[in-house]
Structure 1
Amino acid sequence: MIVDTEYGVDSRYTSKNEQENQATALMEARLKRMKNLSNEQIVKAKLMQLKLKMEEYLKKPVYDKQNYFSEFLKLYIDSIYSKRSNFAQDIDIAPVSLSQVINKHREPKEEFLMKLMIHSEKAYKNVCEFHKKTWYQVYYHEKICETMSNQEKWRPEIEKKVKLSAAI
């Protein structure tokens, strides 16, 4: 059996037309099923997907300049809330401060990360296991990647200030 990944249908069909018809029928059935999902089921699915994306990110030694923390934060908030200001209210921060963190105009404070950790524990409670340290790991993994990928900028100047006077 050969599986055609484009359609998600195997090669047991006698014609390309039959295969395409079955693929269309399968997609229609999936869409019909998705339309019947409750808002709660959709939120849970989005949260599970986000958790898996974050775990995958943490497994990879990525050294690029993408803003994963802020992207994950946006996905998290937008999965649960229709307005980001409601999230800001729930964690007791000013909406402007949240916007600055999301848009990388300000680094999140330690208290922000703590509140995010607690909020996530509550949000994921009935979805799946979500480790307390995940947001911290994502944030600091990004910082490490950013520092390592920008060595050509900071290293020459810093290296001038570092010496080894002890004999080894």
Structure 2
Amino acid sequence: MIHDFEYGVDSRYKNKKERESDSVALMQARLERMKAIPREQIIRAKLLQLKLKMEAYLKEPVYDNNNHFTDFLEMYIDAIYPQRSKFAEDINVTPVFLSQIINNHREPKEEFILKLMIHSEKMFKNVCEFHKKTWYQVYYQEKISDTMSSQEQWRPGIEKQVKISELSEM
């Protein structure tokens, strides 16, 4: 018995042609089934996946220079909207402003995060529980990560400015 997991089928065939034929048929059946899934169900699945990724990010101490907030923001928008400009319209910001945030050319202001929080509350309402504070937690967790991962750059200059005076009560 030959096991060739590349084709996604249990390979008990006499020849390669027979095996490949069945694997093509299986893939076509999977694609047809995927096409029949309603858009709402796909959005629900993507939102649930995003929530789980955000929760995993918040549980682990990640000290890197990646911009997780904007990665999650992109996933969120792209899961729901075919065009990002429609999301920008729905939260009353310009597409240019949204693009600048996504491309890390501008920090999101508190008002933007508040709008994102309210928007996601409404979107997740019928999907799963999504805590209001999640976007804030991701944003500030990233700020902590950035600070901790870039200590080599900022610490020498700041350390020179900090001293410990003798305390008379020690």
TM-score strictly above 0.5: yes
Question: Shift in Å at residue 31 of structure 1?
Answer: 2.6
Question: Shift in Å at residue 8 of structure 1?
Answer: 6.9
After superposition, residues 58-137 of structure 1 pair within 5 angstroms as: 58-137=58-137
In 1, Cα distance between the equivalents of 2:5 and 2:55?
25
In 2, Cα distance between the equivalents of 1:92 and 1:51?
24
In 2, Cα distance between the equivalents of 1:145 and 1:45?
28
In 1, Cα distance between the equivalents of 2:80 and 2:59?
25
Question: Shift in Å at residue 158 of structure 1?
Answer: 0.5
TM-score by length of 2: 0.83
Question: Shift in Å at residue 156 of structure 1?
Answer: 0.4
- 1:31 to 1:121, Cα distance in 2 relative to 1, 3 A: same
| 1:122-164 residue CA offsets vs partner (Å, 9 max, x unmatched) | 0111111111111111111111111000000000001111112
In 2, Cα distance between the equivalents of 1:39 and 1:131?
24
In 1, Cα distance between the equivalents of 2:100 and 2:106?
5
2:147 maps to 147
Question: Shift in Å at residue 7 of structure 1?
Answer: 6.9
Question: Shift in Å at residue 59 of structure 1?
Answer: 1.3
- 1:15 to 1:48, Cα distance in 2 relative to 1, 3 A: farther
2:57 maps to 57
Any unmatched runs of 5+ in structure 2? none
Which structure has the larger Rg? 2
Counterpart amino acid of 1:108?
P
1:46 maps to 46
| 1:92-142 residue CA offsets vs partner (Å, 9 max, x unmatched) | 112211111111111100111111000000011111111111111111111
TM-score by length of 1: 0.84
| 1:19-50 residue CA offsets vs partner (Å, 9 max, x unmatched) | 88876665444333211111111111111111
